[in-house]
Structure 1
Amino acid sequence: MARIDIVPVAGLSHFLTFCKLPRLLYKGAPGFAAPLDLERWTLFAHFLNPHYKLVEDQKFLARRDGEWVGRISAHVYKDGITPVGASPAQFGALDAVDDPAVVRALTEAAEGWLAEKGATRINGPFSPTINGECGMLVEGFEATPMIFMPWHPPYLSRHLEALGYGKAKDLLSYRFAIDEALLNEKPRITSRKEWRDRLTLRPLDMAKLKTAETALMEELFNDGWSENWGFVPFTKAEFDSTADALKLVMPPEFGVVAELDGKPQSFVIALPNLFEIVSDFDGRLFPFGLPKLISRMRNHKFDAARIVLLGTRKALQNSATGGAVLLGMIEEMRRRGASASLRNLEAGWVLEDNIAMRRPIEMFGGQIDKIHRIYEKRLDSSGASS
């Protein structure tokens, strides 16, 4: 029997291996696209991602007969931070070869570490937060890969479920087809008499992104999602860190703020699908990828984009006014996508039981493209699975 060693991530070499491992494990798999290593560093490095100030964490690597074959992370929220409905003890970044023994060894390492922190129930994957990348892909394995959307092979969920992990929630990703004919149509929401003078859709002010707009986004996002399952606050520091990246890759027309009677009520941000221009980089930006990336960002006509952030005031939710605001935002993003010659727009993740969000998406023709699953497992007092 092959020997499997679980190695706690410590030091730069282990960290770099942890970040790049999925592209080594899944290279060539239909539906998989390798994210840039640099982007993975910003997601998982403590000094680059402010979210790590909110948690204690430990990352693990699995090695079988001297070869790296899997990874997992474990984190627990510090006192005073409790995810809504979910456990503060969580795992994430689970990737592995098709070997049940490897998956078992990895999950046991995460479970043991979390049990030492007092965990009796764990949820995941959250990588490293519900506001980052979350869920394990269970449907849509060969769908078009999109940025910031985790990809997993079909066997991984089977191996995880065999270890006693059950479904907690499913997260849906919708895809909208976009046609340039939208530009010739009158807007269905903002042109209506009752909304014409009240509802304004303005661009995100990129010049004031960190001085004004990120504070607004923090307010709208945290208010709007505060009662959703799994919610933890998206801090101002996290929004400021996100803003630094947005300035590099977001076209100005892909950020919209909805104002009702002059007061901001909602915002949405989409990003072009960078996988279209980095697929030949194999995750490496240096030394030759950076000039190519800059040139392609300027000249490439993107086929698809993904809505990565959305927030609407809680007071408007489940109301006719809130529905009109959300429908107006979706319609505006589709029109802006058509102006940019996009053919597809993806919106996710949407909780399966969030009917107030699903209904307007489906009204405008959104079709479910991928499903990611959040799992749950209970541990006994010794830290073993029950």
Structure 2
Amino acid sequence: MTIATARRSDVEVRPVRTRRDWARFRRVPFLVYRDDPNWIPGDAADVGDVLVSPSAGTRSRITTRAFLAYRDGRPVGRVAAIHDHVFDRRYAASTVFFGYLEAVDDAAVTHALLDAVADWGRARGLTTVAGPMSPSLLWSAGTLVHGNDIPPLVGMPHNPAYYAEHLESWGLVGVKDFHSFFSEDPHTLVQTPRFARKYEMGKRWKARSSVIVRPMDPARFDEDIERVRVLYNTAFAGFWGFTPVDADEMRALADTMRPVLDPEIVLFAELDGQLVGFVMGIPDVNRAALGAVRSRFGLVRDLHTLLRWRGPGGARRRTHVRLDMMFVDPACPDRGVSALLIFELFARIHDRGYHSIEAAPVQTDGGWFRSVLASYPVDPTRTYRIYERVLTP
């Protein structure tokens, strides 16, 4: 397929083709965020693994095309157009997603990049543009529209506040919001009078339940990751935008997080030897990454971050935890598994010396979190939005 160079105003958009182009693609965020003290370099899903040299499994799931925006010969923005074949088959859709979007504060740049995505999608017969997905819900999704002025949560997107305005002025409309919710010392919080009834119910349920809650066993890492993947695909089948996760996808995600995981706060709920529930607490390594070098070489950044995380003084940075991937087998006969996992996680977080948690991404229109908010109504700390627009022929 031939992709022509696109122009909008004085902005020129070109497809990424050469090694030099890919180096420029990776450098764009350093331009966009050079004055943002909260930015942490690096993409959740690696550009090389997804866009430059994808595995056979990745190629079977998605087709991509990356673009760079130039002004006066200098890169000022980037984006990737993504055709997710699994998504289209599952939802009988015809969607081109945009991801890895970064652009300077000029709507003309963002619009030119989105024009390129739309043109690429039309050439493939696609009729809707949506995103951001980088490259999917499993990795990084949504534009941060509230909470841009604080350090990002580990594994979640971060972007300038002007992104939402640029996307909406191109004609994109928000179709789904996800949130994060912060709590200081949740173990103590659930023992307050506000939670007294739920806390007592949880203790009684635990006393009579046959469910066993255990931490992650590093010796069974590969086996447990596969069991989590199978349950994830069952539990999230009705989740907005869900697509089944392959073994290589889940393994890649697990390998990304493994260096910073605390096995004691990654919890498995088992009933008669079968996995029926899972919740993961992820120590917020971003507290260490914020002070690490902003090198363009990922290995240098990662090593310095791990040194700050594991080395002298690291304990004072290991205070915050992201609560992620809370799910339960819908066929499990024990209806108290969610409560068992949450109360156990809160207790372990407290005992391990962490001081706070932030649950993300959360949909407030369903699931266990809705009942929590009924007892403890709080405003979201951050809001992430996924946009969509129907393409004209």
Equivalent position to 1:269, from 280, 287, 291: 280
The answer as to 2:80 corresponding to 1:69 is: no
Instruction: State the 1:23 CA deviation.
Output: 3.3
The answer as to 2:50 corresponding to 1:34 is: no
- Return the alpha-carbon distance in structure 1 between the equivalents of residues 382 and 153 of structure 2: 10
TM-score norm. by structure 2 comes to 0.84
Residue matched to 1:305: 321
SS, match of residue 34 in structure 2: coil
Residue matched to 1:228: 239
- Return the alpha-carbon distance in structure 1 between the equivalents of residues 108 and 51 of structure 2: 28
Deviation track 1:109-131 (CA, whole Å, cap 9, x = no partner) reads 00000111111112111110111
Residue matched to 2:64: 57
Change (3 A) 1:273 1:52: farther
The answer as to whether partners of 2:42 and 2:298 remain within 8 angstroms in 1 is: no
Where do 1:234-249 residues align within 5 Å? Answer: 234-249=245-260
SS, match of residue 119 in structure 2: helix
Equivalent position to 2:19, from 12, 29, 33: 12
Residue matched to 1:384: none
Equivalent position to 2:217, from 181, 205, 211: 205
Where do 1:1-386 residues align within 5 Å? Answer: 3-29=10-36, 32-36=38-42, 40-41=46-47, 44-45=50-51, 47=53, 50-78=57-85, 81-84=88-91, 88-178=95-185, 181=188, 188=200, 191-193=203-205, 195-210=207-222, 212-279=223-290, 280-284=292-296, 289=301, 291-299=303-311, 300-301=314-315, 302-315=318-331, 321-322=334-335, 324-353=336-365, 355-362=366-373, 365=376, 367-381=379-393
The residue type equivalent to 1:296 in the other structure is R
- Return the alpha-carbon distance in structure 1 between the equivalents of residues 148 and 275 of structure 2: 38
Instruction: State the 1:371 CA deviation.
Output: 0.6
- Return the alpha-carbon distance in structure 2 between the equivalents of residues 183 and 229 of structure 1: 29
Change (3 A) 1:332 1:52: farther
Instruction: State the 1:53 CA deviation.
Output: 3.3
The answer as to whether partners of 2:96 and 2:118 remain within 8 angstroms in 1 is: no
Deviation track 1:183-204 (CA, whole Å, cap 9, x = no partner) reads 9999756531565442321112
- Return the alpha-carbon distance in structure 1 between the equivalents of residues 324 and 21 of structure 2: 29
Residue range with higher mean Cα deviation, 230-239 or 37-46: 37-46
Residue range with higher mean Cα deviation, 183-192 or 288-297: 183-192
The answer as to whether partners of 1:173 and 1:370 remain within 8 angstroms in 2 is: yes
The answer as to whether partners of 1:82 and 1:232 remain within 8 angstroms in 2 is: no
Q: CA RMSD in A?
A: 3.0
In structure 1, runs of 5+ residues without a counterpart are 382-386
Residue matched to 2:4: none
**How many residue pairs end up in the alignment?**
374
TM-score norm. by structure 1 comes to 0.86
- Return the alpha-carbon distance in structure 1 between the equivalents of residues 367 and 103 of structure 2: 36
Give the percent of matched residue pairs that are identical in Structure 1 and Structure 2: 27
